[in-house]
Amino acid sequence: MKKGKVTGIGGLFFKTANPSETKDWYKNHLGFNTDDWGCTFWWKDEHGNKCSTQWSPFAKDTTYFEPSKKDFMFNYRVENLVELLEQLKKDGVTVIDKIEEYDYGKFGWIVDLDGNKIELWEPKDASFL
């Protein structure tokens, strides 16, 4: 079984008092191409495959980052999500026992040693093409 690994940053998610105004500010001042979810940055990996990184402001009262009490959450792009979560669990890492699957990839979550919830994403970037 091939062990999974992180291949890059999948997204940066953070809480803000007003997500709509925050998206507008970044659009107007920094040129972000924002939509309802935030902004998707497109890039190519070392093999020329089209990939994405998501930037998303969340409402201050979101529960999506729980059990973390932090105002941010990182999303890392990974290979072999299921195998990686199994190995992390064996290594004593706190794994949130669920995997969600969508047309654009699989998601799993862990908690790091500082109590930060980390989202792991095995993307299907081709679904965005």
Q: Each residue's pLDDT tens digit in the chain (129 positions)?
A: 456 789 899 999 999 999 999 999 999 999 999 999 999 999 998 888 888 999 999 999 999 999 999 999 999 999 999 999 999 999 999 999 899 999 999 999 999 999 999 999 999 865 443
Find the length of the chain: 129
Closest to 108 measured CA to CA, from 45, 100, 12, 76? 100
Task: Measure the CA–CA gap between 95 and 110, rounded to whole angstroms.
Answer: 4
Q: List domains and CATH numbers for the chain.
A: 5-128 (3.10.180.10)
Residue 3's pLDDT is 65
| pTM for this entry | 0.88
Q: Which tokens is 111 given?
A: 């908690």
DSSP E strands in the chain: the ranges are 5-16, 34-35, 38-44, 50-59, 72-79, 94-102, 105-111, 117-123
Q: How many other C-beta atoms can be found within 10 angstroms of the C-beta atom of residue 6?
A: 13
